[in-house]
Chain A
């Protein structure tokens, strides 16, 4: 199937539409919440939560014996929450750093989950096949009810986000100060964390335990590059996440044997790379360009200042001087001279240069001008 064909089919084909909608919504909600995780420097939390969810899935299956995805996700939610609050507990009660606590819980829960999965697979129960889809995700298994659940949770999340926007923002920026204002920071914290857990659990079926954290981080990291406003960042992250979902699904549907989850994550990574390189204010490319341009400007200014210094010694400021005089000066090149001529600061006559009146005035005001611009 070609990409173009996919976009035609997406409006008519039921399965494709379901999957596309599902991944788009998932991308949006994880992108939104991921912004908070990234800004709280809890980027790894997502990884720990998703891995911690695995034993919950297995236990839910062992108890109910059914493969109903909602039941399994409920199990995932419970063990994800337990893992998260254990992490908080470990950090609070022991002297371990949060990365240690995260790593500990992640591997512990994941190991236990894998143990249960292998145990389940040995059981003579036809139902057990396919539980391992939660490891790497399988978007093709999404059905309409899954998408509805995602939509409802996303709506709820959006509602809570708008309602407690002010509280979330101030907690993210300065938790101690928030406390002194009389807000119960624990409540706000638990609210944010619970929604992050919820969003991750929602994505397990589609993207899987292993790659889920990328859905949380990549859109947010990309969005941060483009804006200095929290609301715009959250909005952009949602958009990036949604597009990653749609493009990822499109690419994997138009090729055979490309599983959707990894492709979605790769598309999100492309957003990140583009943002890192091309963002106007924070991107590597424009930073480098600005750096080079500033250097050039400085070289130009220095040359002009030197010329001013020489010209000052004469009554006639436009008295011609030899170009040779400038040769020992670092930063001086033929090109700088050419630039100065273009700017009408200097006129050239053979091997001699002379400052114009504008050039002289500019050079005189160079330093004072720069400092005022900086302020």
Chain B
């Protein structure tokens, strides 16, 4: 498991954490994702970028089996995703749930332990302790008893992050974790993501803010229904790929 210095190790010798083959997804007749092949090496912090409707969230959902693809397969560390679920954690878009649900912050974070518990078994002291630790990691320990509707948007996002952290996975998929959060929360979240990378985890993030890509991420995938490019940020995050992806003459100043 070599992940000390991501950008210097050649891609071919690195362990592949996520492999997507020929993935095609369509809601109706029009494909949302067309024939995606993707290899994500272990230990990268990767951004998925692309315009609205490019299929970024769909890609994550299809990889995680939330959506059924028309064709294609996903493997996690060379085994089918179904057998490797325990290695994968998911942070959905904040807006995908009803935050007026009658439950507390601690309770939501504890849900991250349900997968390892399996059917019927209830969370006990061990699970509660893990949830509290995760709350502390995201700086939300003081809010553990708070009804979730009484949390701010940034706090709700941290709760979702904590819920994924509890899963203690190897690969994290996050759907726009920076959406609608303030600068403080954004920094807090990116620091946690960088810590995860440091611990050898692979983090895949649907990301909108192109300006912060070089600063936050070391790997990037350009997506617009088809995969445009994937690789190290310093090699492929350029105006050419941005223009190909966004369709307009895009100029982002990248400091080399």
**A-side interface mostly:** helix
Q: Which of A156-170 contact B (CB under 8 A)?
A: 163-167, 169-170
The answer to whether B66 has its CB under 8 Å from any CB of chain A is: yes
With a cutoff of 8 Å between Cβ atoms, the chain B residues found around residue A165 in the complex are: 122
The answer to whether A228 has its CB under 8 Å from any CB of chain B is: yes
The answer to whether B128 has its CB under 8 Å from any CB of chain A is: no
Task: Give the bracket for the number of chain B residues in contact with chain A.
Answer: 20 to 34
A334 to chain B, nearest CB (A): 36
The answer to whether A125 has its CB under 8 Å from any CB of chain B is: no
Q: Which of B61, B103, B115, B163 contacts A169 (CB 8 A)?
A: B103
**Residues B122 and A166 in contact, CB atoms below 8 Å apart:** yes
- What's the tally of chain A residues with a CB closer than 8 Å to chain B? 28
**Residues A174 and B96 in contact, CB atoms below 8 Å apart:** yes
Q: State A232–B101 Cα separation when bound (angstroms).
A: 13
**Residues B114 and A181 in contact, CB atoms below 8 Å apart:** yes
Q: Which of A183, A227, A230, A233 contacts B114 (CB 8 A)?
A: A183
The answer to whether A51 has its CB under 8 Å from any CB of chain B is: no
With a cutoff of 8 Å between Cβ atoms, the chain A residues found around residue B108 in the complex are: 173
Interface 0/1 of B96-129, CB less than 8 Å to A: 1110011110001001001101111111000000
The answer to whether B31 has its CB under 8 Å from any CB of chain A is: no
The answer to whether A177 has its CB under 8 Å from any CB of chain B is: yes
The answer to whether B219 has its CB under 8 Å from any CB of chain A is: no
Q: State A163–B119 Cα separation when bound (angstroms).
A: 9
Q: State A183–B120 Cα separation when bound (angstroms).
A: 11
A346 to chain B, nearest CB (A): 35
Q: State A95–B66 Cα separation when bound (angstroms).
A: 19
B225 to chain A, nearest CB (A): 21
**Residues A179 and B103 in contact, CB atoms below 8 Å apart:** no
Other than A179-B65, A182-B118, A228-B104, give 15 A-B pairs with Cβ distance below 8 A. Answer: A166-B117, A172-B101, A176-B61, A180-B65, A180-B85, A180-B88, A180-B89, A181-B85, A181-B114, A182-B86, A182-B115, A183-B119, A224-B102, A230-B103, A233-B102
Interchain residue pairs with CB less than 8 A apart (20): A164-B119, A166-B122, A166-B123, A167-B114, A169-B103, A169-B111, A170-B114, A174-B97, A176-B96, A177-B90, A177-B111, A179-B65, A180-B66, A180-B85, A181-B167, A182-B115, A182-B118, A227-B102, A228-B147, A229-B103
Interface of A toward B, CB cutoff 8 Å: 39, 41, 95, 163-167, 169-170, 172-174, 176-183, 224, 227-230, 232-233
